[in-house]
Amino acid sequence: MLGRAFPILVTVAIACFGAAPFLIGAAPYESTMGLVQKIFYFHAPSGMTMFVGACVAGCASAAYLFTGKTSADRIAAAAVELTVLFGAIVLMTGPLWGRKAWGVWWQWDARLTSSLLLWMMFVACLLVRKYGGPGSAKLAAAVALFGMANVPFVYISVNVWRTVHPKTTVVPSLGAGMRGPFWFCVAAFLLLFLVLLAVRVRLAEQQSELETLYLELADRPATS
Amino acid sequence: MQFLKIIPTPFVLLVLWMTAAVPMQAARQAPASQPRTAPPAAQDEYVPLSELPPDEQLPAVPLVFIAYGLIWLAVLVYVITIWRRQSAVEKELQVLKRQLRS
Amino acid sequence: MFFRTAWTVFCKDVTIEIRSRETLATTMFFALSVVVVFAFALVRDGRLVADAAAGILWIAIAFSGTLALGRTFERERYTDTLRALLLAPADRPAIYVGKLLGILAVIFVAECLLVPLVALLFDTALLARPLHLAALLVSGTVGFAAVGTLFAAMLVRAQSRDVLLPVLLYPMTIPVIIAGVRGTAALMQPPPDEPMAIFWLTLLTSFDAVFLTLALWTFEPLMTD
């Protein structure tokens, strides 16, 4: 998918994640939460990457549904898997932070509930792809499209309702020392997403090449 | 894609380093005296840290450690599953190509 | 033409239902069973836990709605009439709307049973603001059925369709159910909290708009091979 840029991007991604601990360690402490707030530097970018993954999956699914291009289906399948991965990261790191900051592992407030539902929708998409039988690619595409439609709701939920989760105004108003490491981590996560997407799409291309070869082999007349 | 084959080892090393590095870096900069805790519930007078109820003394280091560790574990597990599926598919492709050529 | 097609499909479904009463009877009895089961789970000292009546009502609607969806499309699959419908020279979205109206009719009839039942069994002021409650029920059911009809139709030709329908439907429609429950619970407060109920009603209407648009847009490519 990325051609010759791929090795460069992988190296840059690994370098970014290598540098991240130092930047995060050097960032100032948040006044009330102290050390545990450092989880933010990976938790929030994972959340953003989950949204990006959901949107990529939705758009690729729409493209597949309306144009029938299998390349769009491959991108959608890859993006759905990555949305589940980054969503799982958000849902695991959030409670670890929340346990210390709020005193509870989980709360059924708008942001947490809607994020969990978004994640579950994409897991359901994976289940359809795996167990739906032939033609399940289109079904999965419809599910992913509906999943993407949910992303705006999840994002604004924290502003509309009174929730225990920090609002979206936190990121634009970050202090100078925190802004740098945060956006660096966002860039690193988006790069990781791109790299993993390319790898997964390549796998899907090879699987489809395999199927074509199987069909070719089956079509061959039997030689005595 | 040959590049993919040489990734796993440095990636695993990076994961192990990161799992240790992030919390250690952050903890090293923490004041050595006491763990940071959330401000206690409303109280009328000063209460020393040692007398705070246990749940207000939750240490942050294990939580941060586990959080970063889980992130790396999740990404590593995903990369490993892709890598295994990729090798299986490539092996099958080679077998099939050989069969078709003969 | 569009509405005529939808109306024809709807009349077909209603006629079948009136003659066999299969989906209606089973759905209504299932709704009753759900109410009873949840009542046992949530009753303490002979009284229901606070606000649980709203939750029970909407859970019963969701579960019996899923049953009705499964049954309706299983019937279409078994008699192969879905293919006949798709072969007809009619707008696919019109067929979708017709099926949607049929499902809505079944669920509305079930709700006519459920609402007085829940109000009676749990001694709640559910009917304090009947118009607001009706609006919540209509918009919530439309949202649920819009997604449900699309998914049930597209799963007709899939494997594991029985288990995949709930797996797909519930995460998608939980926001609708949450909004319905909160709105209904607001109406059940000692002085009914109308502004809150109207807030949830507006949210339900926006869900309906989004889901209906998406469903109408994707029905055709999904049902075409």
- Tens of pLDDT, residues C116-141: 988 888 888 888 888 999 999 999 99
Minimal C-alpha gap between C21 and chain A (Å): 31
* Interface mutation vs chain A, best among C165, C218, C223, most A CBs within 10 Å: C218
ipTM above 0.90, yes or no: no
Residue C79 has pLDDT above 60, yes or no: yes
Cβ count near C153 (within 10 Å): 26
Minimal C-alpha gap between C88 and chain A (Å): 21
User: Which residue range(s) make up the domain with C17?
Assistant: 2-223
Q: Tokens 């029985």 identify what position?
A: C162
Closest Cβ opposite residue A124 in set C171, C178, C221: C171
3 state SS of C157: coil
Those residues whose C-beta lies under 8 Å from the C-beta of residue C206, and which sit 6 or more positions away, are: none
3-state SS record for chain B: CHHHHHCHHHHHHHHHHHHHHHHHHHHHHCCCCCCCCCCCCCCCCCCCHHHCCHHHHCCHHHHHHHHHHHHHHHHHHHHHHHHHHHHHHHHHHHHHHHHHHC
Q: Residue A179: its pLDDT value, please? A: 84
C153 touches chain A (CB under 8 A): no
Q: Residue A81: its pLDDT value, please? A: 96
Q: What are phi and psi of A33, to 5 degrees?
A: -100, -20
Residue A48 has pLDDT above 60, yes or no: yes
Enumerate the β-bridge partners of residue C47.
C44
Summary mean pLDDT of chain C: 89
Task: Name the nearest CA neighbour of A36 among C77, B26, C48, C57.
Answer: B26
DSSP 8-state code for residue B3: G
Q: Residue B41: its pLDDT value, please? A: 53
| Helix/strand/coil percentages in chain C, nearest 5 | 85, 0, 15
B8 touches chain A (CB under 8 A): no
Q: Which residues of B touch A209 (CB under 8 A)?
A: 93
As a whole number of angstroms, the distance between CA A79 and CA A91 comes to 18
- The two tokens of residue A53 are 């993954």
Q: Which residues of A touch B55 (CB under 8 A)?
A: 103
As a whole number of angstroms, the distance between CA B5 and CA B11 comes to 11
Cβ count near B47 (within 10 Å): 12
> In which band, very low, low, confident or very high, does the pLDDT at C224 lie, cut at 50, 70 and 90?
confident
Q: Calculate what percentage of chain C has a pLDDT beyond 70.
A: 100
- Residue A84: in which H helix or E strand, if any? helix A70-101
Nearest CA in chain A to C216: A142
Q: Which residues of A touch B35 (CB under 8 A)?
A: 34-35
What pTM was computed for the model? Answer: 0.83
Q: Residue B34: its pLDDT value, please? A: 43
Rounded mean pLDDT of A5-24? 84
> In which band, very low, low, confident or very high, does the pLDDT at B30 lie, cut at 50, 70 and 90?
very low
Task: Name the nearest CA neighbour of B39 among B49, B30, B31.
Answer: B49
- Please spell the DSSP secondary structure of A31-73, one letter per residue: TTTBGGGGGHHHHHHHHHHHHHHHHHHHHHHHHHHHH--HHHH
Residue B85 has pLDDT above 90, yes or no: yes
As a whole number of angstroms, the distance between CA C138 and CA C144 comes to 10
Rounded mean pLDDT of A185-199? 94
Q: What are phi and psi of C43, to 5 degrees?
A: -90, 135
User: What residues 88-127 of chain A have any CB closer than 8 A to a CB of chain C?
Assistant: 113-114, 117, 120-121, 124, 127
C211 touches chain A (CB under 8 A): yes
Q: Where are the domains of chain A?
A: 39-206
C172 touches chain A (CB under 8 A): yes
As a whole number of angstroms, the distance between CA A87 and CA A53 comes to 9
As a whole number of angstroms, the distance between CA C108 and CA C64 comes to 11
Cβ count near B10 (within 10 Å): 11
Closest Cβ opposite residue A206 in set B18, B60, B90: B90
Length of chain B in residues, anyone? 102
pLDDT in tens, C162-187: 889 999 999 999 999 999 999 999 99
Residue B32 has pLDDT above 50, yes or no: no
Enumerate the β-bridge partners of residue C43.
C48
Residue A96 has pLDDT above 80, yes or no: yes
Q: Tokens 């000063």 identify what position?
A: B46
Cβ contact A132–C167 (<8 Å): no
A161 touches chain C (CB under 8 A): no
State how many domains chain C has: 1
Nearest CA in chain B to A218: B100
pLDDT in tens, C10-66: 999 999 988 888 888 888 889 999 988 888 888 877 777 777 889 999 999 999 999
Q: Residue B35: its pLDDT value, please? A: 45
As a whole number of angstroms, the distance between CA C187 and CA C185 comes to 5
Nearest CA in chain B to A209: B93
Cβ contact C168–A124 (<8 Å): yes
Those residues whose C-beta lies under 8 Å from the C-beta of residue C35, and which sit 6 or more positions away, are: C56, C57, C60, C114, C117, C118, C121
Minimal C-alpha gap between C113 and chain A (Å): 30
| Helix/strand/coil percentages in chain B, nearest 5 | 75, 0, 25
Asked if residue B65 lies in contact with residue A70, where contact means CB atoms within 8 angstroms, the answer is no
